[in-house]
Amino acid sequence: MTIRGVLFDFSGTLLRIEPTADWLRVGLTRVGVRLPEDELRRLAAALEGVGALPGGSEPTVVPPELRELWEARDVDARGHRRLYVTLARQVPLPGAPEVYDVLYDRHMEPAAWRPYPDARPVLAELAARGVPVAVVSNIGWDLRPVFREHGMLDLVSAFALSYEHGVKKPDPPLFALACDALGVAPEQALMVGDNATADGGATALGCAVHLVRHLPVGDRPDDLRPVLELVGA
């Protein structure tokens, strides 16, 4: 069946969060702390180990007292903040105590996200062809400002964000919401993402799925290009 609408994951598919060391450097600078590069990278590695950066590495181990928050992190905005601030606090950081909240706030800023090189060109081409696009994301905050700042908001017809609907991927209802918003049947939709489990959940509705590699922005210049061929098929 002809593809009439495309659903895209956000993090790791269209854009990627900045490296942990850059994220930490910004946060520490904002509370008046500057560290030697080797110390900053040591702390960044520790933060990666505990999964403190949303959109970055997952925790090596989720502390038992945080497991409930971890499971519900993408359907509750307040819980999302509480979880990631608590995870970060496992790593002692210099400076004011509010550095952990500063870091959490930083990860929601458009400047903290870097588009993959082919993201905007592919979205623009789909728009030129009259193919509507929805972003389907497991997330605890509104990412529309990120798309606006990077010049892609007008290329997205709808957003299906887990925290706004109380349901997350791979559960079918979030994909169904996106298809309904685009006015296409699931069998006419293509889901594009980087996670076979979460994004692959769209197949339960009958959507086709195309997976891209979860790589740094500079290492993945054209994984989204095949979408244009799939839509044209």
Q: Round to whole Å and give the CA distance between 116 and 12.
A: 9
Residue 23 has pLDDT above 90, yes or no: yes
The model carries a pTM of 0.95
Domain count, the chain: 2
Does 225 lie in the same domain as 205?
Answer: yes
Q: Taking residues 42-61, what's their average pLDDT?
A: 96
Q: What pLDDT, on a 0 to 100 scale, did the predictor assign at position 32?
A: 96
CA 6 to chain centre: 17
- CB–CB of 198/163 below 8 Å? no
Which residue range(s) make up the domain with 40? 18-111
Residue 233 has pLDDT above 90, yes or no: no
Q: Taking residues 60-70, what's their average pLDDT?
A: 96
Of 111, 135, 167, the residue that ends a domain is: 111
Does 96 lie in the same domain as 43?
Answer: yes
Of 54, 87, 111, the residue that ends a domain is: 111
Q: What is the pLDDT of residues 138-173, one digit of tens each?
A: 999 999 999 999 999 999 999 999 999 999 999 999
Does 131 lie in the same domain as 95?
Answer: no
Residue 137 has pLDDT above 70, yes or no: yes
Of 96, 111, 126, the residue that ends a domain is: 111
Does 45 lie in the same domain as 119?
Answer: no
Q: Round to whole Å and give the CA distance between 46 and 61.
A: 13
Does 140 lie in the same domain as 210?
Answer: yes
Q: What is the pLDDT of residues 208-226, one digit of tens each?
A: 999 999 999 999 999 999 9
Q: What is the pLDDT of residues 97-125, one digit of tens each?
A: 999 999 999 999 999 999 999 999 999 99
CA angle 159, 163, 167 (to 5 degrees): 90
Residue 44 has pLDDT above 90, yes or no: yes
| CATH number (domain holding residue 182) | 3.40.50.1000
Burial class (CB in 10 A: 0-12, 13-18, 19+), 133: buried
Q: What pLDDT, on a 0 to 100 scale, did the predictor assign at position 76?
A: 95
Does 208 lie in the same domain as 123?
Answer: yes
pLDDT-based confidence at residue 1 (cuts at 50, 70, 90):
low
pLDDT-based confidence at residue 232 (cuts at 50, 70, 90):
confident
